[in-house]
Amino acid sequence: MSYQITIPDISDSCVIKLWYAGKYVISKCRTLVRLKENIEGGVGRFLKNTPKGRREDDLYYEMYCHVLENPEQDFYIEILCSSNNPLELLKAEHMALLIARSDPRCLNNDFQPYIPRFTQINGKKSWINRGYYLNYMSWKKKFANRQMLE
């Protein structure tokens, strides 16, 4: 069976909830088309049980297991935040994951926003550059301090 994700007509980068059979993952993407390709390909590799398809450290491993247990359902994308500013997306993903931490329907493996691996390496390109990353880390520290005071 081929699983297809219908994506909304949006050109901005965004933070989404990807729903499947009553459960979801929260993710951030530069383009929905690329996310769609990654998820559909990942589900296909997982269901075929290819060597790289069943890695437990995959961001979407729990979602893929859920797809395996609940075949022939539909994916649905809910847009949580749409922006071309990576800092806004990191903050939105952080807040969404903070709320989802206690939700049993959330299938995220990690409740920290995903940072592309080349963000911190000099000379490498990432859609979230080092400046946005450092601004996010500063905001996160201030946010955590504010939460402790309340």
Instruction: Render pLDDT for 70-115 as a digit per residue (tens, 0 to 9).
Output: 999 999 999 999 999 999 999 999 999 999 999 999 999 899 998 8
Task: Evaluate if residue 149 carries a pLDDT over 60.
Answer: no
pTM above threshold 0.85: yes
Q: What is the pLDDT of residue 127?
A: 82
What are the C-alpha distances in Å from 102 to residues 91, 96, 99, 105, 108?
18, 11, 7, 9, 11
Q: Give the tens place of pLDDT for each residue, 45-55.
A: 999 988 888 88
Helix (H) or strand (E) holding 77: strand 75-83
Asked whether 18 and 77 are in contact (CB, 8 A), the reply is: yes
Task: Evaluate if residue 147 carries a pLDDT over 90.
Answer: no
Asked whether 35 and 105 are in contact (CB, 8 A), the reply is: no
Task: Evaluate if residue 2 carries a pLDDT over 90.
Answer: no
Task: Evaluate if residue 118 carries a pLDDT over 90.
Answer: no
